[in-house]
Amino acid sequence: MEKPKAVLFDAYGTLFDVYSVGLLAEQLYPGHGQALATLWRDKQIEYTGLVTTSNDGAHYRPFWELTRAGLRYACKRLALELGDAREQQLMNQYLHLSAFPENREVLQALKDKRIATGILSNGDPEMLGVAVRSAGLEPLLDHVLSVDGVRKYKTHPAAYQLGLDATGLAAPQILFVSCNAWDALAATWFGYRTLWVNRYQLPFEELGTQPTRTGSSLRDVLSFF
């Protein structure tokens, strides 16, 4: 099979560890950090689907706002007192999520092979800019694509179309990489070649479609080349 001509990465959960915020959450709420990080993430993703599918996207709000809303909900659900100071601490931590250690190695290897690289993310441009700069990945990325431009979150086809528009390639010429099974599935349905990075040894979605390949870290991207 022809080698991909570009690789697009999901950001949150794939390049940046969304659960790393649990370390600060545990300091603020001993015994509840992991539960807060997990529920926060789940609600954040739930909200992206809600605002995309309701009233044809009339209720769209930027990812930063949905992230804040998800945090507030999670704290109420877990009966944790949030307050302005803690909210600001946790939101600031989300701006500077830990990057997975193999990111730079894989992106550099792709750059050496002259393969176009990019991020295709639900994150709004400001969030992505901070995360990319904090991780020092800016020189290794050709594209940083935010769904904010189309005001529709993944898994809407308009979100995945951004990759084709930016690269000028057809979907089968692009490898899309995500740690989120729902994202890898929808990208496969859209027509991308896909790598699901199954970091947590989870089952894939039971909807009759499998990603092109499954791996355990971003290093598995290089197996396509």
pLDDT tens readout for residues 49-95: 999 999 888 899 999 999 999 999 999 999 999 999 999 999 999 99
Q: Are residues 117 and 140 in the same domain?
A: yes
Q: What is the CATH number of the domain that holds 11?
A: 3.40.50.1000
What predicted TM-score, i.e. pTM, was given to this entire model? 0.94
Q: Are residues 205 and 121 in the same domain?
A: yes
Ramachandran quadrant class, 118 (left: phi over 0; alpha: psi -120 to 50; beta: rest): beta
Per annotation, catalytic residue among 10, 124, 183, 220: 10
What pLDDT, on the 0 to 100 scale, is given for residue 51? 95
- Render pLDDT for 134-183 as a digit per residue (tens, 0 to 9): 999 999 999 999 999 999 999 999 999 999 999 999 999 999 999 999 99
In the chain, what is the greatest distance between 2 CA atoms, to the nearest angstrom? 54
Domains of the chain: total: 2
Q: Are residues 85 and 125 in the same domain?
A: no
Residues facing residue 215 across a β-bridge: 197
pLDDT band at 1 (very low <50, low <70, confident <90, very high): confident
pLDDT (mean) for 9-14:
96
Asked whether residue 1 is domain-assigned, the answer is no
Asked whether residue 186 is domain-assigned, the answer is yes
Instruction: Please say whether the beta carbons of 98 and 199 come within 8 A.
Output: no
Interatomic CA distance for residues 75 and 32, integer angstroms? 10
Residues near 224 by Cβ (< 8 Å), separated by ≥ 6? Answer: 3, 4, 7, 175, 193, 195, 213
Provide DSSP, 26-44. Answer: HHHSTT-HHHHHHHHHHHH
Coil, helix or strand for 10?
coil
CB count in 10 Å sphere of residue 92: 12
What pLDDT, on the 0 to 100 scale, is given for residue 56? 83
What pLDDT, on the 0 to 100 scale, is given for residue 84? 95
Range of the domain at 151: 6-16+99-224
Active site residue 10: yes
**Long-range contacts at 16-21 (CB < 8 A, ≥ 24 apart):** 16/97, 16/98, 16/99, 16/100, 16/131, 16/135, 17/97, 17/98, 17/99, 17/100, 18/97, 20/97, 20/98, 21/90, 21/93, 21/94, 21/97
Q: Are residues 69 and 103 in the same domain?
A: no
Q: Are residues 123 and 90 in the same domain?
A: no
